[in-house]
Amino acid sequence: MKHWIVITCTCLLNAIPDATAQDTISKGPLFIVGGGLQADAAEIWSDFIASAKSTGPIVIIPSASGQPVQSAEAVRKTLLNYGVPKNRIEIAPLALRDDLSTGSVDESDWADNAQNSNVVNQLSSAAAFWFTGGDQARTTQLLLENGQDTPALSAIRTAYANGAAIGGTSAGAAIMSERMILQGDSLGALIGEDSGELLEVAQGLGFLKGGLIDQHFGERARLGRLAMAVFEIDNRVGFGVDEDTALIINHDGMAKITGTDYVTIIDARNAKRKLMSDHHVAISDVTLQLVSAGDKIDLKTLDINPAAWKAATVGNEYISTARSFGGGMAVAGQMLQDVIGEGLIDNADSKVIERLSFDGSDQGLIYRFTQPPEASGHWGRGSSGEGRYTIKNIEFDIRPIRMAYKEIVE
CA distance 126 to 59: 6
User: In the prediction, which pLDDT does 360 show?
Assistant: 80
Residues of the chain below pLDDT 50: 1-26
User: What pLDDT score does 23 carry?
Assistant: 41
CA distances from 233 to 16, 196, 205, 255, 331 (A): 15, 22, 14, 20, 35
pLDDT at position 12, please? 44
Q: What are phi and psi of 303, to 5 degrees?
A: -70, 145
**What distance in Å separates the CA atoms of residue 233 and residue 211, rounded to the nearest whole number?**
8
Q: Which of 171, 203, 186 is nearest to 34 (CA)?
A: 171
- What pLDDT does 22 receive? 38
Mapped onto helix, strand or coil, the DSSP state of residue 21 is coil
* pLDDT for residue 285: 98
pLDDT at residue 366, rounded to an integer: 96
* Residue-level pLDDT at 297: 98
Q: What is the pLDDT of residues 386-403, one digit of tens each?
A: 999 999 999 999 999 988
Q: Where are the beta strands (DSSP E) in 48-177?
A: 58-61, 89-91, 128-131, 144-145, 148-149, 165-169
pLDDT at residue 368, rounded to an integer: 97
What is the reported pLDDT for 3?
39
| pLDDT on residue 310 | 98
* CA distance readout (Å), 351 to 289, 341, 344: 16, 11, 6
Residue 81 sits at φ, ψ, to 5 deg, of: -65, -25
pTM assigned to the model? 0.92
Q: What pLDDT sits at residue 7?
A: 41
State how far the Cα of 281 lies from the Cα of 288, in Å rounded to an integer. 18
d(CA 259, CA 242) in angstroms, rounded, equals 9
By the 10 Å C-beta count (0-12 exposed, 13-18 middle, 19+ buried), 301 is classed as exposed
pLDDT at 149: 98
pLDDT for the residue 6: 41
* 263-314 tens-digit pLDDT: 999 999 999 999 987 779 999 999 999 999 999 999 999 999 999 999 999 9
- Please report the pLDDT score of residue 42 as a whole number: 96
Question: For residue 394, what is the DSSP state?
Answer: E
Tell me how far apart the alpha carbons of residues 62 and 352 are, in angstroms, rounded to a whole number: 44
The per-residue pLDDT for 185 is 96
